[in-house]
Chain A
Amino acid sequence: MTGTITISLHLNGEAVTATLPARMSLVDFLRETMGLTGAHVGCAHGVCGACTVRVDGAAVRGCLMLAAQADGATVDTIEGLTDTGAIADLQDAFHRHNAVQCGYCSPGMLITAADLLDRATLPDRAEIRDHISGNYCRCTGYQAIVDAISEVATARTKGAA
């Protein structure tokens, strides 16, 4: 319960070394130790998706992974993905479509959406709805989120053509 562990990881492009309680979850490490409060804790049991971050390129629930497991990994949070501009088109589309209300789900939702667009070229609305079905949003009713993701998918496909 009181054991500590030292980990090194690439966090938002920076090399980070930290000593922390071995039982600490990744999202608690990001929020409490590193001050990266963009990932949110909505349930702490892996259901709601508000804590979704990227670990080695994959969308991961930050509450279901121990920080210790991130030793040697590359971790990207909403803050890092904002700074690099990697998801700027998604953020802009979410803004224009009002696909955000309280904003608590938004960082996780954006990372999940980016994950879909990384693997599917032109997902239809049903595929988009299916892919974000692990991310709770209690405010929007989801339609605007689907609209925003769909628009970006189309734009990215055109851009690539």
Chain B
Amino acid sequence: MTLHAYDRPVSYIGASVPRPNATRLLQGRGRYVDDKVLPRMVHAAFVRSPHAHARILSIDVSAARALPGVVAIYDGADMAKVITPWVGVLTHLSGMRSPPQPALAHGVAHWQGEPVVMVIAQSRAVAEDAAALVDIDYEVLPAVCDMDTALAPDAPRIHPGLDSNLCWERKFETGAVDAAFADPTTTVVERRFTFGRHTGVTLEPRAVIGDYDPSEDRLTMHYSGQAPHMMQSVVSRHLGVPEARVRVVAEDVGGSFGIKIHTYGDEIATLAAAKMLKRPVKFVADRLESFLSDIHARDHRITARAAVDADGRLTAVEIDDVTGIGPYSVYPRSSGIEGNQVVNLTGAPYDFPAYRARLRVVFQNKTPMCQYRAVGHPIAVAVMEGLMDDLAHATGRDPADMRRINLRRDDSYPCTSPQGMRFADLSHQQCMEKLLTLMDYEGLKADRDAARARGIHRGIGLVSMVEVTNPSPMFYGVGGAPIAAQDGATARLDASGAVHVANSITEQGQGTETILAQITADVMGVTMADVHVTTGDTATVPYGGGTWASRGAGIGGEAMLQAARALRAQVLEVAGVILQAAPDTLTLVGGAVVDAATGAERITLRDLARTVYYRGNELPPGLKPELIATRHYRVTDYPFVFTNGAMASYVEVDPDTGMVKLLSHWVVEDVGTILNEKLVDEQIRGGVVQGIGGALFEECIYSDDGQMQNATMADYLVPMAGEMPDITIAHVCTPTRTSDLGAKGAGEAGTAGAPAAVMNAINDALRPLGAATLSQMPMTPERILRALGTVA
């Protein structure tokens, strides 16, 4: 008898096991940055610019300094002496420019909420008291807020050293675009879209503790974020501490979504203050300053058009995207990737020959904009899926048929899009058909039509989409950013037979540590309880990029698989010597080395480890077991891996109030190999709800002079439990050929596709009422009533 994989007592890959590290979070035993208290620690608060654009004429801190409990006060000039400014450009985004950005505003403040003065005191409360006593005299300068007028030749310039407010422009064209649009036999649709600014609203605000030990010139950053090694490099570069003497520690992180992966002046200033004061300094953003200082997202105005021939086949797509990024391109990822993704991914699910894109990335006096969950995707998907519905309507086709005609065929891979994106192992056709079955498309249409007859306005929205995952160095590293595309994993057998693993990907609640334990336990034939996972500490984990771009499972997971396999090979080699057996006749099951043919236990991992560690004298001199292995992995064959999926929304719109009721939402996603279906599904659901937030509720509303009008949780709306639908999920599994594990990633698909699905559903519901097509997000009741002509 031969042991089959299915005979093994535990097989974790693919099993929906609960997260071992979630138990303590449910018991209130999390270790978030603000939970940490260090000896002699003091607290920072910031005075922020009340103006969108203003010259700082004078700063008087005398009253603040006199307040008992105040330890130190620093302004931009003080910080400029100890922090070098940063420039958020990437060299491969040719022509991008952004001026040096200081940690604290120095001379001129460029957005409402930019930190200007830092106050450090014995408690946060005293620091805030003192901050209120800082007297700053400003000369208000013209604020450049609207991204279209910012490009006008006579617009005030935000940065005098630049000849315009343009940060970056990219134009490219493939195929015969003009000929396709000019062809009289084609049907052409065109639409203008507006995507508002929103922001992450991580429930745990940004938080940092700087802890400096001058005796060793060592700086520790307690970090609430996603990319410890990137921060280590950033901190070293700009504070002048050798990189190896900077330690970045990320324990529990209370939500991130791309917000906590950027360089923030208030955080770097906190580290600088810790270095100057030679004692720990804590800064935790309060919610009001989070709204003004966390990066914002999206903010696009787009004109797009598409053409189909008489058979309904796409012949050309064109897009013109203007996106506003605030006064600086954010360091070190730049604020160009969002727009770049939009123009790279628009139309990705479809096969068409001609494409033209123009992208302009524009400076404004608003909070900096940068990468947030599903970077650029919701925009690209909403634009293309909106056009697909317009084309269906214009040519009298069912929206599902419009997509069936144009989806890339499942047997067409590998292939390359007009933008040069290389696709492999995708399954658009399977996903769409599975979705239509899952949602009972024909039954749903009948329900919608029956409801219409009763005066109830329901609509169906369909979406096909891709999600960029597992990026190679072509994303950031090639452009000069200190951002690793590879990740590392170490697996080690201890003397008790337990396995300790460390990995450079990080956990913000996705289940990172769980999948690492699953992979390791599977390879090593142990229970998950015998796998102990470390992440988030530059002092102890291998070097790597961290968690972003849905790369944790695909890259960190593959590194973990290879490291565990290497450790397994070492164990079997040692066992072969001890047992006088060929290693390939042995395998690992149930915490022991067993005979592969019979399953008979030969030696436990514990006994093997003890022999190696304590009684090495029993081993031949030539055998030098390590019982530890490290492997790194990066994607080499493709610039990116892609997942794909299809999504649908069913909504009911009240034409009297403009309120939208989300009735149902369905997702079919191909994430490749599924390591833990429960975790994948919850990533998709959470992502869908964040996408719905941007579609219906979330918007940073600004006045013309650059004042954010709704910077509180009471005024900025996010999805709550009461408004959200249940979300039905199904899978198609096409493993990526780029790795042994085959996992593609799952973190952003929901956010990428949901806004388009909801938009198309609302427009489907309103079309019989003669409403104007809704193309502005969020689709608030007011905007819906405007589309209906109910309000002017």
Cβ of A96 within 8 Å of any chain B Cβ, yes or no, is yes
Pick from A38, A39, A42, A102 the residue with the most CB of B within 10 Å: A102
Known: A44-B286, A138-B203. A102 touches B721 (CB 8 A): no
Q: How far apart are A9's CB and chain B's nearest CB, in angstroms?
A: 18
Measured CA separation A136–B510 after assembly (Å):
17
Q: How far apart are B261's CB and chain A's nearest CB, in angstroms?
A: 15
Q: Are A143 and B204 in contact (CB under 8 A)?
A: no
Cβ of B581 within 8 Å of any chain A Cβ, yes or no, is no
Residues in B neighbouring A77, C-beta threshold 8 A:
28
Cβ of A139 within 8 Å of any chain B Cβ, yes or no, is yes
B241-264 residues at the A interface, CB under 8 angstroms: 252-257
Measured CA separation A146–B23 after assembly (Å):
18
Q: How far apart are B558's CB and chain A's nearest CB, in angstroms?
A: 23
Cβ of B25 within 8 Å of any chain A Cβ, yes or no, is yes
Measured CA separation A107–B23 after assembly (Å):
11
Q: Are A141 and B685 in contact (CB under 8 A)?
A: yes
Q: Are B28 and A133 in contact (CB under 8 A)?
A: no
Pick from B25, B204, B256, B678 the residue with the most CB of A within 10 Å: B25
Q: Are A100 and B509 in contact (CB under 8 A)?
A: yes
A23, A38, A96, A101: the one contacting B682 at CB < 8 Å is: A101
B26, B687, B750: the one contacting A100 at CB < 8 Å is: B26
Residues in B neighbouring A15, C-beta threshold 8 A:
none
Q: Are A41 and B252 in contact (CB under 8 A)?
A: no
A37, A45, A101, A142: the one contacting B28 at CB < 8 Å is: A37
Question: Secondary structure at chain A's binding surface: helix, strand, loop or mixed?
Answer: loop
Q: Are B254 and A102 in contact (CB under 8 A)?
A: yes
A 104-120 to B, binary, CB cutoff 8 A, 1 in contact else 0? 11110010000000000
Q: How far apart are A144's CB and chain B's nearest CB, in angstroms?
A: 6
Q: Are B252 and A138 in contact (CB under 8 A)?
A: no
Q: Of B29-37, B319-327, B642-650, B779-787, which binds chain A? A: B29-37
Known: A38-B29, A141-B686. A136 touches B203 (CB 8 A): yes
Residues in A neighbouring B32, C-beta threshold 8 A:
37, 40, 104
A1-41 residues at the B interface, CB under 8 angstroms: 1, 21, 23-24, 31, 35-41
Q: Are A79 and B27 in contact (CB under 8 A)?
A: yes
Q: Are B724 and A42 in contact (CB under 8 A)?
A: no
Q: Are A144 and B682 in contact (CB under 8 A)?
A: yes
Pick from B27, B686, B714 the residue with the most CB of A within 10 Å: B27
Cβ of A47 within 8 Å of any chain B Cβ, yes or no, is yes
Question: Secondary structure at chain B's binding surface: helix, strand, loop or mixed?
Answer: loop
Pick from B22, B37, B287 the residue with the most CB of A within 10 Å: B22
B 713-734 to A, binary, CB cutoff 8 A, 1 in contact else 0? 1100011111010110000000
Known: A41-B34, A100-B509. A21 touches B125 (CB 8 A): yes
Q: Are A136 and B720 in contact (CB under 8 A)?
A: yes
Known: A41-B34, A100-B26, A143-B685. A137 touches B19 (CB 8 A): no
Residues in A neighbouring B205, C-beta threshold 8 A:
42
A24, A138, A143: the one contacting B724 at CB < 8 Å is: A143
How many pairs of residues, A versus B, come closer than 8 Å at their CB atoms?
175
Residues in B neighbouring A106, C-beta threshold 8 A:
25-26
A34-76 residues at the B interface, CB under 8 angstroms: 35-45, 47-48, 50
Cβ of B690 within 8 Å of any chain A Cβ, yes or no, is yes
Residues in B neighbouring A135, C-beta threshold 8 A:
721
Q: Are B204 and A104 in contact (CB under 8 A)?
A: yes
Q: Are B287 and A37 in contact (CB under 8 A)?
A: no
Q: Are A141 and B286 in contact (CB under 8 A)?
A: no
B252, B714, B750: the one contacting A103 at CB < 8 Å is: B252
Known: A39-B28, A47-B713, A104-B255. A138 touches B22 (CB 8 A): no
Cβ of B688 within 8 Å of any chain A Cβ, yes or no, is yes
Q: How far apart are B511's CB and chain A's nearest CB, in angstroms?
A: 8
Measured CA separation A31–B30 after assembly (Å):
13
Residues in A neighbouring B25, C-beta threshold 8 A:
100, 102-103, 106
Known: A138-B202, A141-B682, A142-B721. A42 touches B26 (CB 8 A): no
Q: Are B253 and A102 in contact (CB under 8 A)?
A: yes
Measured CA separation A147–B682 after assembly (Å):
12
Cβ of A145 within 8 Å of any chain B Cβ, yes or no, is yes
Q: Are A82 and B28 in contact (CB under 8 A)?
A: yes
Q: Are B712 and A132 in contact (CB under 8 A)?
A: no
Measured CA separation A130–B200 after assembly (Å):
23
Measured CA separation A79–B32 after assembly (Å):
16
Cβ of B201 within 8 Å of any chain A Cβ, yes or no, is yes
> Which of chain A's residues has its CB closest to B257's CB?
A138
Q: Are B23 and A95 in contact (CB under 8 A)?
A: yes
Q: Are A104 and B682 in contact (CB under 8 A)?
A: no
A45, A110, A128: the one contacting B712 at CB < 8 Å is: A45
Q: Are A104 and B26 in contact (CB under 8 A)?
A: no
Pick from B26, B205, B682 the residue with the most CB of A within 10 Å: B26
Measured CA separation A144–B202 after assembly (Å):
19
Residues in B neighbouring A136, C-beta threshold 8 A:
201, 203, 713, 718, 720
Q: Are B204 and A42 in contact (CB under 8 A)?
A: yes
B559-596 residues at the A interface, CB under 8 angstroms: none
Q: Are A141 and B688 in contact (CB under 8 A)?
A: yes
Q: Are B255 and A38 in contact (CB under 8 A)?
A: no
Cβ of A98 within 8 Å of any chain B Cβ, yes or no, is yes
Residues in A neighbouring B125, C-beta threshold 8 A:
21, 23-24
Cβ of B129 within 8 Å of any chain A Cβ, yes or no, is yes
Cβ of A121 within 8 Å of any chain B Cβ, yes or no, is no
Cβ of B756 within 8 Å of any chain A Cβ, yes or no, is no
Cβ of A140 within 8 Å of any chain B Cβ, yes or no, is yes
B 278-299 to A, binary, CB cutoff 8 A, 1 in contact else 0? 0000001011000000000000
Cβ of A78 within 8 Å of any chain B Cβ, yes or no, is yes
> Which of chain B's residues has its CB closest to A105's CB?
B203
Q: Are A95 and B22 in contact (CB under 8 A)?
A: yes
Measured CA separation A145–B22 after assembly (Å):
14
Measured CA separation A74–B32 after assembly (Å):
26
Q: Are A43 and B22 in contact (CB under 8 A)?
A: no
Q: Are A98 and B678 in contact (CB under 8 A)?
A: yes
Cβ of B508 within 8 Å of any chain A Cβ, yes or no, is yes
Measured CA separation A40–B28 after assembly (Å):
9
Residues in B neighbouring A50, C-beta threshold 8 A:
203
B37, B255, B287: the one contacting A102 at CB < 8 Å is: B255
Measured CA separation A132–B721 after assembly (Å):
7
Q: How far apart are A51's CB and chain B's nearest CB, in angstroms?
A: 11
Q: How far apart are A20's CB and chain B's nearest CB, in angstroms?
A: 11
Residues in A neighbouring B79, C-beta threshold 8 A:
none
Residues in A neighbouring B687, C-beta threshold 8 A:
141
Q: How far apart are B45's CB and chain A's nearest CB, in angstroms?
A: 13
Q: Are A139 and B721 in contact (CB under 8 A)?
A: no
Known: A91-B27, A95-B18, A98-B19. A42 touches B721 (CB 8 A): no
Q: Are A40 and B203 in contact (CB under 8 A)?
A: yes
Q: How far apart are A74's CB and chain B's nearest CB, in angstroms?
A: 18
Known: A44-B286, A44-B287, A104-B204. A143 touches B255 (CB 8 A): no
> Which of chain A's residues has its CB closest to B254's CB?
A104
> Which of chain A's residues has its CB closest to B36's CB?
A37
Measured CA separation A78–B287 after assembly (Å):
23
Measured CA separation A100–B160 after assembly (Å):
48
Q: Please list the 8 inter-chain residue pairs (A to B) with the smallest Cβ-Cβ separation, ordered nearest first.
A: A38-B28, A103-B25, A101-B509, A104-B254, A78-B28, A102-B509, A141-B689, A141-B685
A-B contact pairs, 27 of them (CB 8 A): A23-B125, A37-B32, A38-B30, A42-B203, A43-B713, A45-B287, A45-B714, A48-B203, A48-B287, A91-B23, A95-B19, A100-B26, A102-B252, A103-B22, A104-B203, A104-B204, A104-B255, A105-B203, A125-B726, A130-B721, A133-B721, A138-B201, A141-B682, A141-B688, A141-B719, A144-B685, A146-B726
Binding site for A on B (CB under 8 A): 18-19, 22-23, 25-30, 32, 34-35, 37, 125, 129, 200-205, 252-257, 284, 286-287, 508-511, 678-679, 682, 685-690, 712-714, 718-722, 724, 726-727, 750
Given A95-B18, A101-B255; 19 other pairs, CB 8 A cutoff: A31-B34, A37-B30, A40-B204, A42-B203, A42-B205, A47-B713, A48-B287, A77-B28, A79-B27, A79-B28, A79-B29, A98-B678, A101-B509, A105-B203, A110-B26, A138-B201, A138-B202, A141-B686, A144-B685
